[in-house]
Amino acid sequence: MTAPRTAGVAGRVNGDCPVKDATTVAAGIADDATLAVSGFGSVGDPKAVPRALAAAARDGRDLALTVVSGGSVGDPLDTDLVAAGGVARRYPYQATTAARTAANERELAFADRGIAGLSDEVRFGRLVDPDVAVVEAVAVGPGWLIPSTSVGQTPAYVRAADEVVVEVNDAQPMGLSAFHDVVVRDPPPDRGPLAVSAPGERVGESAVRFDPEKLRAVVRTDRRDDPYEFRDPTATDRRIADNVLTVLERAVDRDPVIGAAPTLQFGVGSLGNALMGALSGSSLADGELRYYGEVIQDGLLDLLADGDLAVASATSLALSVDGQDRVFDAPERYAEDVVLRPSNVSNAPSLIDRFGVVAVNSAVGVDLYGHVNSTHVSGARLINGIGGSVDFNRNAHLTVVALPATAAGGDVSTVVPLASHVDHTEHDTDVVVTEHGVADLRGKPPVARAEAIIECAAPAFRPDLRAYLDRARESSGHLPHDLSTAFDWQS
């Protein structure tokens, strides 16, 4: 077989592929099947088959599906199908109200997972054994498909599943083929190093391969991803972004690794957009700046268009309506500088280390010693999932945790004495940034870290935090705590 980028692809559906409607496909999926689905950053996920399954569940079909996705997915899976009661187990991430509510009510057996190792967990049967892979593509042929707006875990999932269903989406441009760089790694213990020597280098192909005997159905669809709706950055977002920019500019001047080729990763959302706005026109925006992360959003397109960014490598395109229009109307404008990879490559610890990535991720809260809570309010209520932050925070050359100092309209401090849920330990936190300042924790013993982090807290909460630290210091121990009051206030 010859891997198409676009050459050799006669149309959306090539060769002798079984085209079926979504209702027919859904009817043939077992009630308790395990589905491995495409999608990352709530884009590139299947849309027709999940809606058909949801309709069947609402009509009385007793579904108890296990669903493992590449990352966050959109409403067809995590709103419609979950709300219809069709999902019993869910991995590795959720980002919708319906899925979040079901997980918190323990009606949905949700287990959070990191991203970098998820492909191997599924591929080698350590997490689930998929019955059917349901994935979105812009084109398909015997034994191959070209992903749409995300690559995610699709290469591993189509290999692991017993059967493959491909939704070919006419609303996604064929030109996305030129963005993809699909690499499938050899299994351990014979796994060699990844051959990617720079964030913009392509070493794979545009197509995802699978056994052609597995292809059960092709479903035609014509619906774009639900667009991201980014709120305008607030004054707090902009102050945080300015403080992060100060950290980055100092790092470029003082750190030879970062100074040689500044390479950033940051999470999707308004804070990321604020940071991209701060980067525009800064001393870092000289055309040498690189992005190596998970998700490409509108602000990165702006930096590329302005010549401020050399390349953007990720695993998905999470764009607004305007961003989708810009890319879909002229994908060739971005194809050279935008690379979409499988998420076990975009999040590979070896590449994060190789490129000296500076990771900037937000959080729910941080405690006085630098432990970070990214996923649970008050230690119990799930709000999203750990996603790829665990990959980048642990392996980055410099790890920055950026968050507003307060939540709930200023009534709750996000800086707390002791985190009631820990996603990232103190050992993986280099710098904490809020709108009130920067705490560089590198090399500091625990009490000195606490003193630095208190200066980043909202002024109204600093006296109580200092009083807590004073009480804690009356006891012995390397990390002093007053456990009788440590959890009196929580973000």
> What angle do helix axes 446-454 and 462-473 make, rounded to 10 degrees?
160
C-beta separation of 4 from 146 below 8 A: yes
Of 431, 419, 438, residue with least CA distance to 481: 419
Percentage helix, strand, coil for the chain under 3-state DSSP, each rounded to 5: 30, 20, 45
Q: For residues 15 and 107, what is the distance between their CA atoms, to the nearest angstrom?
A: 43
For 448-472, letters b (16+ CB in 10 Å) and e give ebbebbbbbbbeebbebbeebbebb
Q: What are phi and psi of 295, to 5 degrees?
A: -130, 135
205 an active-site residue? no
Long-range contacts of residues 83-91, Cβ cutoff 8 Å, at least 24 apart: 83/54, 84/53, 84/54, 84/55, 84/57, 84/58, 85/57, 86/53, 86/54, 86/56, 86/57, 86/61, 87/63, 88/32, 88/64, 89/65, 90/66, 91/66, 91/67, 91/118, 91/127, 91/128
The CA distance from 374 to 267, in Å, is 12
**323 is written with which tokens?**
């961003």
Q: What is the token pair recorded at 267?
A: 């999470």
**Rg of the chain's alpha carbons, rounded to an integer?**
23
In this structure, what is the dihedral angle of CA atoms 234, 238, 241, 246, given to the nearest 10 degrees?
A: -160
Instruction: Read off the tokens for 60.
Output: 């009385």
* Selected catalytic residue, list 136, 294, 426, 435: 294
Strands (E), 102-207: 109-110, 132-141, 144-147, 163-169
Contact, 300 vs 23, CB < 8 A?
no
Q: Is 140 helix (H, G, I), strand (E, B) or coil?
A: strand
Residue that the structure tokens 């959890």 belong to: 487
Q: Which residues pair with 399 in a beta bridge?
A: 359
Q: Which residues are catalytic?
A: 294
